[in-house]
Amino acid sequence: MKVAFISDIHSNLEALNAVLASIDSLRIERIYCLGDVIGYGSDPNRCLETIKKRKIPCTIGNHEFAVIHQETSGFNIYAAEAIWWTINNITHENLEFIKTFPERREVVLDGLKILMAHGSPFDPINEYVFPEYPFEKITKTVDANVIVLAHTHVPFVEHVKGKLIANSGSVGQSRDGDPRACFLILDTEKLDAKIIRVNYNIRKAAEKIIKAGLPEFLALRLYTGT
């Protein structure tokens, strides 16, 4: 079975549509989302409605958590401004929708136990797991064959002591120097995963951010992937 993981869409409808089109072309059997559908960009409602229409299960990200609780401490000024913009623009139905997102999701596919969280298995909303993270901490304590995380916007695939630990990167706001949209495909038979990059209309997404009155910085960084 091939499974796709998407995350950190950040209200970037152009990137989300490009990624879903790519996934559809690859005949992926299941899609999961690891949170931060909203934040930063100009299309929180349309992105959430796309996720809802496609019936893609989601875990909660720190941006959903911030919108639900109207709490922006710990966010930089640009992210905080986007959070408050989202609070003022999200529909009631979509606010109720993100309240249903769990902190963790565990599934069994082809005999593999898969754990999903936005941050880390220990702090599923806020902890960052970068490639230099001490992965033995995860392998020793997490009862799963595959651990898929997000939050950093930096994708990776690591095999550690018989377990696969991966980060799905970011659909809508890359930060590893590659501005293309990013997602992860897991092959459950091979117990392996790969990062997929997709081009999308960055200019359109950036122009919509500026037109919405969001910080220009959030638009400009889309071009550089940083």
Predicted confidence band at 78 (pLDDT cuts at 50, 70, 90)? very high
Quick one: average pLDDT of 168-190?
97
CA distance linking residue 158 with residue 177, whole number of Å: 20
Residue 207 belongs to a domain: yes
How many beta carbons lie within 10 A of that of residue 148, not counting itself?
25
> Count of domains in the chain?
1
The answer as to whether 215 is a domain residue is: yes
Model confidence at 23, pLDDT cuts 50, 70, 90, reads very high
**Domain presence at residue 74:** yes
Is the pLDDT confidence value at 27 over 90? no
Q: Is residue 178 part of a domain?
A: yes
Residue 93 in any domain: the answer is yes
Question: Which segments within 103-179 are labelled E, that is strand?
Answer: 104-109, 112-117, 146-149, 156-160, 163-167
Q: Are 10 and 38 spatial neighbours (Cβ–Cβ below 8 Å)? A: yes
Evaluated on CA atoms 47, 147, 164, 155, the torsion sign reads positive
Domain contains 112: no
Give the C-alpha separation, 88 to 108, whole Å. Answer: 38
Q: What percent of the chain has pLDDT over 70?
A: 100
Q: Which residue has the tokens 């999701």?
A: 105
Residue 98 structural domain: 2-103+169-224
For residue 197, the 8-state DSSP code is E
Residue 169 has pLDDT above 90, yes or no: yes
Q: What is the pLDDT of residues 86-98, one digit of tens each?
A: 999 999 999 999 9
% of the chain at pLDDT higher than 90: 99
Contact assessment for residue 172 and residue 10, using Cβ atoms and an 8 Å cutoff: yes
Is 150 part of any domain?
no
pLDDT digits (tens, 9 = 90+) for 209-224: 999 999 999 999 999 9
- What's the helix, strand, coil split of the chain in %, to 5? 35, 20, 45
**Mean pLDDT for the chain overall:** 97
For residue 65, what pLDDT is reported?
98
Q: Are 58 and 101 in contact (CB under 8 A)?
A: yes
pLDDT of res. 189 = 94
Residue 155 lies in a domain: no
CATH number at residue 85: 3.60.21.10
